[in-house]
Amino acid sequence: MGKIETGLRKIKSLFGKRTLQSVEDLMVYSYDATKKTGVPDMIVYPEDEKEVAELTKIASEYEIPLIPRGAGSGFAGGSVPSDKGGVILSTEGMRRIKDIDERNMIAIVEPGIITGDFHKTVEKINLFYPPDPASLEFSTIGGNVSTNAGGLRAVKYGVTRDYVLSLKVVLADGSVIRTRAMTIKDVAGYDITGLFVGAEGTLGFVSEITVKLLPKPERKGTVLAFFHSSIDAINAGIEVIRNGVLPATMEFMDRTAIALVLATSSLEVPPGTLSALLLEDDGFEETVLRSLKIMRDVCLKNGAIEAEGTIEKEKADEMWKIRRSISPALAKIAPFRLNQDVVVLRTKIPELLKKAEFIANSKGLKIVQFGHMGDGNIHVNFLYKDNEEEKR
């Protein structure tokens, strides 16, 4: 029996029914949100840090690759085995919230908790965990930490890294380290925590995460503005910030994104619309009302055809429909697409849009561009219908 086979047997005898090896199960864990595939030799579901450490020691002794995996929704192939196979270390058995310290506003969680579930739990006690990747209904906090996930609210609140106070990490030899203190301020020495955030599981397995929480904002205010051009919309967004409002969300849609939504839904936009901005701010009601007025006025001053604002949830939900319809519309008309998450300075967005359009036109491909204008992060989607078009 080979070395790896012996190691796998040892793991199986330790974890018993919490291992899977059928062909069907291995296939389910052989891909993530990329098109990459790689079949593991086994899937293991440890239930605590001690078990992860034991598993890691065996894997190290028998030279078996270990691949940490949350929900497998990553866009970098990090949870997909290489052609060497290996053992998927699933965090599905580690979903506990260990502690929420309301007065110090910190929480200690295991890596497998679903981000959206954690949001709901802390919001029930008027606390707030801002990182909100669009995958929050299924992705895990361990995955978010290991990819340093951002989201719609990143423009005002930052990304996952900004909320991680301390980590416990199981290293490749099975030893466990704690990084940093749980205090808000801990400035001495190297930033070891920062090294593990965004490391895609390459440096160790994150077994416990201490995050910072904020007070839950009282109200939200939403503005939807339509423009004759992308340049007008982007200038308006830049001017909103220059006029003192840093919105929680600043979403941009180009003419192709709007055309796509109109073609696949019953939503309507004012005549002449070739671009749109969706802005949202949060905080105390008085502050939000003031932000709404500034956001609306600045959009109109910068060429908006129409700009409406509301603090009513139902009206805001209506406004969000146009933005939320883009991804389903894309899936409907273009099942195949190359989606690049491009990040540039806000002032460079018009140049990015133009260059991406030029590339698409020169290759005879359709393109749809939209995204988080506030942090300069635009989703550039090249659409294709077959292998021939993909090669271009």
Ligand X SMILES: Cc1cc2nc3c(=O)[nH]c(=O)nc-3n(C[C@H](O)[C@H](O)[C@H](O)COP(=O)(O)OP(=O)(O)OC[C@H]3O[C@@H](n4cnc5c(N)ncnc54)[C@H](O)[C@@H]3O)c2cc1C
Residues that bind ligand X (CB under 6 A): 32-33, 67-75, 78-79, 91, 111, 133-135, 139-140, 142-144, 146-147, 149-151, 200-201, 205-206
Q: Between vectors from CA 364 to CA 336 and to CA 333, what angle results, nearest 5°?
A: 30
Which of 79, 222 has the CB closer to ligand X? Answer: 79
Which of 310, 339 has the CB closer to ligand X? Answer: 339
Give yes or no for a contact between 27 and 40, defined as CB atoms under 8 angstroms apart: no
Least distance (Å) between residue 331 CB and ligand X: 10
- Distance, in Å, from the CA atom of 132 to the CA atom of 144, rounded to the nearest integer, reads 9
Q: What is the DSSP letter of 97?
A: E
Which of 32, 280 has the CB closer to ligand X? Answer: 32
* Tokens at 235, concatenated: 């200038």
Least distance (Å) between residue 57 CB and ligand X: 17
Which of 70, 283 has the CB closer to ligand X? Answer: 70
Alpha-carbon distance values, 322 to 20, 221, 251, 275, 278 (Å): 42, 17, 11, 12, 9
Which of 77, 303 has the CB closer to ligand X? Answer: 77
Least distance (Å) between residue 113 CB and ligand X: 10
Give yes or no for a contact between 215 and 102, defined as CB atoms under 8 angstroms apart: no
Give yes or no for a contact between 230 and 350, defined as CB atoms under 8 angstroms apart: yes
Least distance (Å) between residue 67 CB and ligand X: 6
Place of tokens 């192939």: 77
Which of 87, 304 has the CB closer to ligand X? Answer: 87
Rg of the chain, C-alpha, whole Å: 23
- Distance, in Å, from the CA atom of 230 to the CA atom of 273, rounded to the nearest integer, reads 10
Place of tokens 């020495």: 189
Give yes or no for a contact between 185 and 151, defined as CB atoms under 8 angstroms apart: no
Least distance (Å) between residue 366 CB and ligand X: 20
Which of 75, 336 has the CB closer to ligand X? Answer: 75
Distance of CA 369 to the CA centre of its chain: 18
* Exposed / middle / buried, residue 202 (Cβ in 10 Å: 0-12, 13-18, 19+): exposed
- Distance, in Å, from the CA atom of 358 to the CA atom of 351, rounded to the nearest integer, reads 10
Alpha-carbon distance values, 283 to 6, 197, 220, 245, 303 (Å): 58, 28, 7, 12, 27
Least distance (Å) between residue 87 CB and ligand X: 12
Least distance (Å) between residue 98 CB and ligand X: 14
- Distance, in Å, from the CA atom of 296 to the CA atom of 302, rounded to the nearest integer, reads 10
Least distance (Å) between residue 35 CB and ligand X: 12
Which of 161, 366 has the CB closer to ligand X? Answer: 161
Least distance (Å) between residue 150 CB and ligand X: 5
Which of 251, 254 has the CB closer to ligand X? Answer: 251
Question: Widest CA span of the chain, in angstroms?
Answer: 75
Which of 54, 297 has the CB closer to ligand X? Answer: 54
SS3 (DSSP) at 8: helix
* Tokens at 148, concatenated: 């340093």
Which of 40, 74 has the CB closer to ligand X? Answer: 74
| Closest by CA position to 206, among listed 92, 95, 110, 98 | 110
Least distance (Å) between residue 234 CB and ligand X: 20
* Exposed / middle / buried, residue 96 (Cβ in 10 Å: 0-12, 13-18, 19+): middle
Least distance (Å) between residue 151 CB and ligand X: 5
